[in-house]
Chains A and B, each alone.
Chain A
């Protein structure tokens, strides 16, 4: 195992040097520092560059992840931070010290022939790994004279490049405290980072490192170094369990040197102290030791030869149930194994029938194995793998290539210590190209037989280009010497290889000790002891638990002999006849019990004779960590008895000896059988062990697959949890959405507003149910352009409007009229903004304003009507010949408005023009009743306003400002408010002075009339007196005439007293009867309701009653005492046709002769009533007088009120 590592180191040493030999005088090869950065890199660079002092002798190449589409200002920005010149890399640029080179965007860079070569980054574009690419190229070009710095950035670019740098002996640094530490962590995790520093300290570290590089190389020579190495290896073994003691000193020393350079430690002693104090440093040293270098298709011609000469024959003779088994020991990061897998796959494409493919790839470097299992390699492998193969067998992932999964399935990677563990077996091909050169020849000689054992008959062995098999010509035949392809020969005997192969440390330690013993002068004791050992002590051999002879005393010839065939150190195979079973048994027992085992009287067949010995197996005490050792002592008992003797001794006793002989023969046969069985058992054992090894490695593979699955499972679980959370969130969002949606739907429905949503192309996105009134929309119209939908109105402008809204983001409003129903709408278009304020379409709303329009129209109409009415009223107020006073607000008692007539009447010039409605009265109204002036609050308007009652027919005098007085009549009425309280009043004021004048005049006329009539009657009476005889027989005529005149005068007196309105019937009758110079105290009774007769009727009736009365006085009841006259009347008839019925009853007199009453009186009474009053009158004589009955129609004769 240690050999393996040692050889690895040797290999890296071989390729890690600069183009010149390591310890030649250094040519000026400029060390190059590659600096890789991504996110946050600018900040880091701005801190990194200032401390770089000129004269450090280093060239700096800056690889910053840049946007491939844009120019980068990085070079100019960096110039500000440094004194060194900054240049943008161009193709073929030379590399000079103390310069900073910056990678331009969209390019990768490599070092070729000491120059910088630009390459366009491969397509397709995606995250690239320019840092990995450059670092890898830098490592290969400069080896130790390279350093790689990882600054701030996320991702993992640079990790693989750092590995390459470290493999080739360069220095790797990562930034501590980077803003984005993804890249740094990725690198540190792989153990590829030598040191993590704050960015400002990095330049100093680089300068020191390279300055001391050469100086330190010269150290680590000499003996002291070797001792130091031993100590270091001990520490390594103690900490890591790996034994590097079989490795070349030089290789270990190189690695130690490198670590010291990194830590900047000058002396090895200090380094050892450091290792002791800081166990992590031991781990880091181990990492360094474990670094292996391997490529795809290393030595392409060799692989071509393999492909041609070996691969096809692997398939020969194998059917679908068979397996092709291949082992790649020392596979490191797996490139070699995958290369072979590719070749296999190319020979047997996937899907075709053929044998199963199995490649066991092993190494002790667990991390390398991990990398190999993942199978991801930097883009730089494109240099080693043909594009078709890249295409076919790799998957491009983020700037890396990953081996296709079917190839990964072919390869099983497991940890396997070639020198410690049993090999794989039954292999068709072993490819071991990284290993043998690191092994010492002794180990090589052990490994090759191992391979021989492991291979099938005619299996192939593929070695590295600097390895050969000269010593093992018997085991392998050469198939292709330049390309190191060998074929297994079938040996004469089948031999088990000797495994394990490691030497113990104890043994190694002992070697120097033994040397020491040889070198030092003998002491007496040691001399004597030696003699004793050599001469007198029995022969012995020291073996380990497996039976390998490690040390012998010599003189073991009697017991052990060279086995036929190749020499082996296996003591059992060297045991002479008869010894092996007992020896094996003894060793076995000693091993299990740890005690001395003595077997007495073991007979060893030797040189034709027999030697009886005591076989002693003594466990040797060694340090617990070391392999247990045993000393087998061959204690002779007696000497060699020859066979004959042995046999002769038996002759004497015939039967006994014959029996004995037989027994012996049987025993021998049995022993031989046992031997054979044992051998077979051993071989079976070994097969089992190697089968076990296979299983083990498969187990490991499965375990690692299991771990991967576990990881995947955990990942899946966490993804699941994330998804669940997201799901829950989404669910709640969906709920919110649903709710919001239904809110919107309800809102739109409840507002009954027709709404359309259009997208940016004016297609209908959605619409409310009410929109169907405006557009003939059906559900399938969703998604169709709005222009395809028929509208229920003239929609010529809709599209233009919508486009304008989208363009100018304005709002457009229009009034439209529905074609069918005459409804009116206000159409409003607005841009549709999303919550992110992005214009996503147009919203159109239609608000039904029909009712509103109708209402508006109605309101307009009503307003017009109202205006007309008001106008009419105002005109009326102005036109009416009555003065109107309006007190609108009792709070403003002085604001009385008056119409035009009123203003004229009051004599006030009210303000305002004619026709503008009632004007404000400019002064108070002065009213008088008689001589008393009425204060304003007693005037009718104010009275009504205060009391809430109307005032009717108030008469008074108005005093006009010009001094004129007018008689006026005022009617006032209050105005009420909605609560029923008085709020003001209105008064109508009429000029009644004319009427008053008329009344006055009338009165005068009446007086005049009365006076006149009286005078006329008096004059006529006087004339009659003159003209008519007063004596003699003719005197009666005159008296009668005068009497009638007097009657008429009385009637007219009555009428004038009543102002010619009429005469009450009762008074009429009394006047007629009283005018007679008749009896006082005569019994005249007048009964009847009050009836007012018209003047005409009164005149007639007056004369009628005068006649009646005269007749009664002359001839009737009043002509003597005891007679009476009863005059009764009543109103009869229906209410509409009333009749005044009157009776004149004379009684208490003698009956009259019918013809005595004839004459003027009777005729006159009857005829007058008939002719003038349209009534009826009849007289009938009674026993003691007479009775007149009269019926007078009311209508004509009775005065209405």
Chain B
């Protein structure tokens, strides 16, 4: 039973977000809840590098639009490594998301704290979702 305020204890979570402030906000939020944040990384390349360097990731939060790039290559790598992830999206546009990832959980921006926690715990419980 996660300790309130420490629900994400012991988890390593990758954050990929191109907006600095938002990225810091997420980090603060996640670290407040006890996890270790890998990154944040503003771009795909950096994110993939981080992914390779990390041996054990528990989850990832991906901003779909990364300053002109899409995050899906990271999603593919995460899935291959059986690391659960979810999308943060400013778009309400289905057409962006490839078929492979249509079933992936996504949260709208700006994201609400509790919504995010729930989502993370949910996907963590189901690896490879």
Interface residues of A in 759-788 (CB under 8 A from B): none
Q: Look across to chain B and name the residue whose beta carbon is closest to the beta carbon of A1167.
A: B20
Q: Which residues of A contact B43 (CB under 8 A)?
A: 1174
User: B23 interface residue, CB < 8 Å from A?
Assistant: yes
**Majority DSSP secondary structure for residues of A touching B:** helix
Interface residues of B in 1-58 (CB under 8 A from A): 18-20, 23-24, 40, 42-43
User: B67 interface residue, CB < 8 Å from A?
Assistant: yes
Q: Which residues of A contact B42 (CB under 8 A)?
A: 1171-1172, 1174
20 contacts between A and B (CB under 8 A): A1096-B18, A1096-B67, A1096-B68, A1100-B20, A1164-B20, A1167-B20, A1167-B24, A1168-B20, A1171-B20, A1171-B23, A1171-B40, A1171-B42, A1172-B18, A1172-B19, A1172-B20, A1172-B42, A1172-B67, A1174-B42, A1174-B43, A1196-B67
The CA-CA distance from A1167 to B40 in the complex, in Å, is 12
Q: Look across to chain B and name the residue whose beta carbon is closest to the beta carbon of A1196.
A: B67
The CA-CA distance from A1167 to B22 in the complex, in Å, is 13
Q: Whole-angstrom distance from the CB of A1174 to the nearest CB of chain B?
A: 8
Q: Which residues of A contact B68 (CB under 8 A)?
A: 1096
Q: Which residues of A contact B19 (CB under 8 A)?
A: 1172
1/0 per residue, CB under 8 A from B, across A1168-1186: the answer is 1001101000000000000
Q: Look across to chain A and name the residue whose beta carbon is closest to the beta carbon of B40.
A: A1171
Q: Whole-angstrom distance from the CB of A724 to the nearest CB of chain B?
A: 118
1/0 per residue, CB under 8 A from B, across A1095-1136: the answer is 010001000000000000000000000000000000000000
Q: Which residues of B contact A1196 (CB under 8 A)?
A: 67
The CA-CA distance from A1196 to B18 in the complex, in Å, is 13
Q: Residues of A at under 8 Å CB distance from B? A: 1096, 1100, 1164, 1167-1168, 1171-1172, 1174, 1196
Q: Which residues of A contact B18 (CB under 8 A)?
A: 1096, 1172
Q: Give 8 A-B pairs besides A1100-B20, A1167-B20, A1171-B42 with Cβ atoms closer than 8 angstroms.
A: A1096-B18, A1096-B68, A1164-B20, A1171-B20, A1171-B40, A1172-B42, A1174-B43, A1196-B67
Q: Whole-angstrom distance from the CB of B41 to the nearest CB of chain A?
A: 9
The CA-CA distance from A125 to B30 in the complex, in Å, is 153
The CA-CA distance from A1164 to B42 in the complex, in Å, is 15
The CA-CA distance from A1168 to B42 in the complex, in Å, is 11
The CA-CA distance from A1168 to B18 in the complex, in Å, is 10
Q: Which residues of B contact A1167 (CB under 8 A)?
A: 20, 24
Q: Whole-angstrom distance from the CB of B42 to the nearest CB of chain A?
A: 5
Q: Which residues of A contact B67 (CB under 8 A)?
A: 1096, 1172, 1196
Q: Which residues of A contact B24 (CB under 8 A)?
A: 1167
On chain B, the number of residues with a Cβ less than 8 Å from chain A's Cβ atoms is 10
- With most chain B CB atoms within 10 A of its CB, the pick from A1100, A1168, A1172, A1196 is A1172
The CA-CA distance from A1164 to B20 in the complex, in Å, is 9
Interface residues of B in 39-85 (CB under 8 A from A): 40, 42-43, 67-68
Q: Whole-angstrom distance from the CB of B45 to the nearest CB of chain A?
A: 10
Q: Which residues of A contact B20 (CB under 8 A)?
A: 1100, 1164, 1167-1168, 1171-1172
The CA-CA distance from A714 to B47 in the complex, in Å, is 139
The CA-CA distance from A1168 to B40 in the complex, in Å, is 13
Q: Look across to chain A and name the residue whose beta carbon is closest to the beta carbon of B46.
A: A1174
Q: Whole-angstrom distance from the CB of B20 to the nearest CB of chain A?
A: 4
Q: Whole-angstrom distance from the CB of B85 to the nearest CB of chain A?
A: 21
Q: Whole-angstrom distance from the CB of A1138 to the nearest CB of chain B?
A: 19
Q: Whole-angstrom distance from the CB of A1016 to the nearest CB of chain B?
A: 12
The CA-CA distance from A1096 to B69 in the complex, in Å, is 12
Q: Whole-angstrom distance from the CB of A1052 to the nearest CB of chain B?
A: 15
Q: Look across to chain B and name the residue whose beta carbon is closest to the beta carbon of A1100.
A: B20
Q: Whole-angstrom distance from the CB of B22 to the nearest CB of chain A?
A: 11
State the 3 A-B residue pairs at the shortest beta-carbon distance, nearest first: A1171-B20, A1168-B20, A1172-B20
Q: Whole-angstrom distance from the CB of A1094 to the nearest CB of chain B?
A: 9
Q: Look across to chain A and name the residue whose beta carbon is closest to the beta carbon of B43.
A: A1174
The CA-CA distance from A1164 to B23 in the complex, in Å, is 12
Q: Whole-angstrom distance from the CB of B121 to the nearest CB of chain A?
A: 28
The CA-CA distance from A1096 to B40 in the complex, in Å, is 18
- With most chain B CB atoms within 10 A of its CB, the pick from A1100, A1168, A1171, A1196 is A1171
The CA-CA distance from A1172 to B18 in the complex, in Å, is 6
The CA-CA distance from A1196 to B24 in the complex, in Å, is 22
The CA-CA distance from A264 to B66 in the complex, in Å, is 164
Q: Look across to chain A and name the residue whose beta carbon is closest to the beta carbon of B41.
A: A1171
Q: Which residues of B contact A1168 (CB under 8 A)?
A: 20
- With most chain A CB atoms within 10 A of its CB, the pick from B18, B40, B43, B67 is B67
The CA-CA distance from A1174 to B43 in the complex, in Å, is 10
Q: Which residues of B contact A1100 (CB under 8 A)?
A: 20
The CA-CA distance from A59 to B40 in the complex, in Å, is 165
Q: Whole-angstrom distance from the CB of B35 to the nearest CB of chain A?
A: 20
Q: Which residues of A contact B40 (CB under 8 A)?
A: 1171
Q: Whole-angstrom distance from the CB of A543 to the nearest CB of chain B?
A: 183
The CA-CA distance from A641 to B87 in the complex, in Å, is 219
Q: Look across to chain B and name the residue whose beta carbon is closest to the beta carbon of A1163.
A: B24
The CA-CA distance from A1167 to B25 in the complex, in Å, is 14
The CA-CA distance from A1174 to B19 in the complex, in Å, is 12
Q: Which residues of B contact A1171 (CB under 8 A)?
A: 20, 23, 40, 42
Q: Whole-angstrom distance from the CB of A901 to the nearest CB of chain B?
A: 30
Q: Whole-angstrom distance from the CB of A790 to the nearest CB of chain B?
A: 81
Q: Whole-angstrom distance from the CB of B40 to the nearest CB of chain A?
A: 8
Q: Whole-angstrom distance from the CB of A1170 to the nearest CB of chain B?
A: 9
The CA-CA distance from A1100 to B42 in the complex, in Å, is 13
Q: Look across to chain B and name the residue whose beta carbon is closest to the beta carbon of A1168.
A: B20
The CA-CA distance from A1100 to B19 in the complex, in Å, is 9
1/0 per residue, CB under 8 A from A, across B72-114: the answer is 0000000000000000000000000000000000000000000
Q: Whole-angstrom distance from the CB of B97 to the nearest CB of chain A?
A: 22
Q: Whole-angstrom distance from the CB of B64 to the nearest CB of chain A?
A: 15
The CA-CA distance from A1172 to B23 in the complex, in Å, is 10
Q: Which residues of B contact A1174 (CB under 8 A)?
A: 42-43
Q: Look across to chain A and name the residue whose beta carbon is closest to the beta carbon of B68.
A: A1096
Q: Look across to chain A and name the residue whose beta carbon is closest to the beta carbon of B23.
A: A1171
Q: Look across to chain A and name the residue whose beta carbon is closest to the beta carbon of B24.
A: A1167
Q: Look across to chain B and name the residue whose beta carbon is closest to the beta carbon of A1171.
A: B20
Q: Look across to chain B and name the residue whose beta carbon is closest to the beta carbon of A1096.
A: B67
The CA-CA distance from A1138 to B124 in the complex, in Å, is 43
The CA-CA distance from A1100 to B40 in the complex, in Å, is 17
The CA-CA distance from A1164 to B21 in the complex, in Å, is 9
Q: Look across to chain B and name the residue whose beta carbon is closest to the beta carbon of A1099.
A: B19
Q: Which residues of B contact A1164 (CB under 8 A)?
A: 20
Q: Which residues of B contact A1172 (CB under 8 A)?
A: 18-20, 42, 67
Q: Whole-angstrom distance from the CB of A680 to the nearest CB of chain B?
A: 177
Q: Whole-angstrom distance from the CB of A513 to the nearest CB of chain B?
A: 184
Q: Whole-angstrom distance from the CB of A375 to the nearest CB of chain B?
A: 143
Q: Whole-angstrom distance from the CB of A813 to the nearest CB of chain B?
A: 75
Q: Whole-angstrom distance from the CB of B91 to the nearest CB of chain A?
A: 14
Q: Whole-angstrom distance from the CB of B24 to the nearest CB of chain A?
A: 8
The CA-CA distance from A1174 to B68 in the complex, in Å, is 14
The CA-CA distance from A108 to B81 in the complex, in Å, is 146
Q: Look across to chain B and name the residue whose beta carbon is closest to the beta carbon of A1172.
A: B20
The CA-CA distance from A1167 to B20 in the complex, in Å, is 8
The CA-CA distance from A1174 to B18 in the complex, in Å, is 11
Q: Whole-angstrom distance from the CB of A1199 to the nearest CB of chain B?
A: 12
Q: Look across to chain A and name the residue whose beta carbon is closest to the beta carbon of B67.
A: A1096
Q: Whole-angstrom distance from the CB of B77 to the nearest CB of chain A?
A: 21
Q: Look across to chain A and name the residue whose beta carbon is closest to the beta carbon of B42.
A: A1171
The CA-CA distance from A1096 to B66 in the complex, in Å, is 11
Q: Whole-angstrom distance from the CB of B21 to the nearest CB of chain A?
A: 8
Q: Look across to chain A and name the residue whose beta carbon is closest to the beta carbon of B19.
A: A1172
Q: Whole-angstrom distance from the CB of B48 to the nearest CB of chain A?
A: 15
The CA-CA distance from A1168 to B67 in the complex, in Å, is 14
Q: Look across to chain B and name the residue whose beta carbon is closest to the beta carbon of A1097.
A: B67
Q: Whole-angstrom distance from the CB of A611 to the nearest CB of chain B?
A: 201
Q: Whole-angstrom distance from the CB of A904 to the nearest CB of chain B?
A: 31
Q: Whole-angstrom distance from the CB of B118 to the nearest CB of chain A?
A: 26
The CA-CA distance from A402 to B23 in the complex, in Å, is 157
Q: Look across to chain A and name the residue whose beta carbon is closest to the beta carbon of B18.
A: A1172
The CA-CA distance from A1196 to B42 in the complex, in Å, is 13
